[in-house]
């Protein structure tokens, strides 16, 4: 897992998986494994475990897998940058 975050009130643990390009449905299984580990080994009995996948692109396969896993959210990232010439 790339990031494990804890909500301020400690009620929720968040497993974050980052992908540099396209995310496939295989990533859903990967995040579920991480979430299972966190739930069994790290979380207190009253803590909720959720997952997030962040990637540049998705496809129909991952959308279908995510449609059946409400505890995992998907976000697409965008990168842009601008160069400004510095006058010395």
Query: How far is residue 83's CA from residue 37's CA, in Å, rounded to a whole number?
Result: 43
pLDDT per position as a tens digit, 5-48? 999 999 999 999 999 999 999 999 999 999 999 999 999 999 99
Pick the CATH number of 3-76 from 3.40.1350.10, 3.20.20.70, 3.30.160.20, 3.30.1360.30: 3.40.1350.10
Average pLDDT score, the chain: 95
pLDDT of residue 1: 87
pTM assigned to the model: 0.86
What is the per-residue DSSP string for 12-57?
EEEEEEE-SSB--THHHHHHHHHHHHIIIII--TT-EEEEEEEESB
- Residue 49 — pLDDT band, cuts 50, 70, 90? very high
């Amino acid at each position: 897992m790339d990031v494990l975050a804890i909500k301020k009130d400690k009620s929720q643990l968040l497993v974050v998986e980052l992908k540099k390009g396209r995310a496939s449905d295989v990533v859903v299984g990967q995040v579920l494994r991480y979430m299972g580990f966190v739930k069994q080994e790290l979380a207190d009995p009253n803590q909720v475990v959720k997952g997030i996948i962040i990637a540049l692109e998705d496809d129909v396969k991952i959308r279908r897998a995510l449609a059946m896993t409400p505890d995992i959210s998907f976000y697409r990232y965008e990168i842009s940058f601008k160069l400004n010439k510095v006058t010395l």
